[in-house]
């Protein structure tokens, strides 16, 4: 099972699809706003992480970074090493959206290495997918495809549902089409 399945289900209900040129989530902004209102000033790790994600997908990146940093501090204070990886991955996503690609790649690589070493395959697959998105944003399509493919393989080994695989499979297909276009232009 992938980490935080309830989190994933909520996000999936807000996601309308994926932009075929950026791989970013298209979200129902009205529902995102409602969910942000519901979360209010909740201070739990899950609430902070969700707020950071919601702010990220609406483009409120400074706020998202502030909340992601709060989540990371809380995880470091209260959680074990595994609990810390989720907010680190989220913080790296905000860095990616803010075009801080080197920093995002470095953080995600460290998360991948730690998750792999500890045998946390679900977290490893999530970090691989997001590192692939950072590479994709930089038009490093071969690197992106390698990470997306590795993420799919790990998720399949974990018995992920088709819904859980969807975003990664879309990323693979889109990246392959970009690689094919590059070859044609030659």
Q: Tell me the pLDDT tens digit for each residue of 39-84.
A: 999 999 999 999 999 999 999 999 999 999 999 999 999 878 899 9
Over the stretch 78-91, which tens digit does the pLDDT of each residue have? 878 899 999 999 99
Listed by start position, the domains of the chain span 5-185
Q: Domain 5-185 maps to which CATH number in 1.25.40.10, 3.10.580.10, 3.30.70.270, 2.40.50.100?
A: 1.25.40.10
Residue with the bigger pLDDT between 161 and 153: it is 153
What percentage of the chain exceeds 90 in pLDDT?
85
Question: What whole-number distance in Å separates Cα of residue 162 and Cα of residue 140?
Answer: 26
> Is it the case that residue 94 has pLDDT exceeding 90?
yes
Residue 46: Cβ-neighbour burial (10 angstroms; 0-12, 13-18, 19+): middle
**pLDDT above 60 for 132:** yes
* 11-33: average pLDDT: 89
Question: Residue 8 pLDDT > 70, yes or no?
Answer: no
154 CA to centre of own chain: 15
Global confidence as pTM: 0.91
Of 170, 158, 160, 164, nearest to 132 (Cα)? 170
**Is 4 a residue whose pLDDT tops 60?**
no
| Cα dihedral 96→47→1→161 (10° resolution) | -70
């Amino acid at each position: 099972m992938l980490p935080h399945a309830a989190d994933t289900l909520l996000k999936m209900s807000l996601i309308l699809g994926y932009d075929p040129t950026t791989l970013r989530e298209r979200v129902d902004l009205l529902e995102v706003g409602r969910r942000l209102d519901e979360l209010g000033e909740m201070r739990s790790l899950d609430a902070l992480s969700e707020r950071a994600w919601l702010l990220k997908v609406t483009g409120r990146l400074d706020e998202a970074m502030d909340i992601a940093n709060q989540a990371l501090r809380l995880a470091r204070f209260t959680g074990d090493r595994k609990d810390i990886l989720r907010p680190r991955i989220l913080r790296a996503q905000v860095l990616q959206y803010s075009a801080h690609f080197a920093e995002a790649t470095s953080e995600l690589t460290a998360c991948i290495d730690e998750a792999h070493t500890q045998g946390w395959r679900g977290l490893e697959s999530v970090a691989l997918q997001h590192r692939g998105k950072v590479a994709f944003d930089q038009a490093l399509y071969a690197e992106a495809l390698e990470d997306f493919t590795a993420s799919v393989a790990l998720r399949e080994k974990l018995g992920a549902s088709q819904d859980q695989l969807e975003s990664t499979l879309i990323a693979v297909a889109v990246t392959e089409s970009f690689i094919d276009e590059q070859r044609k232009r030659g």
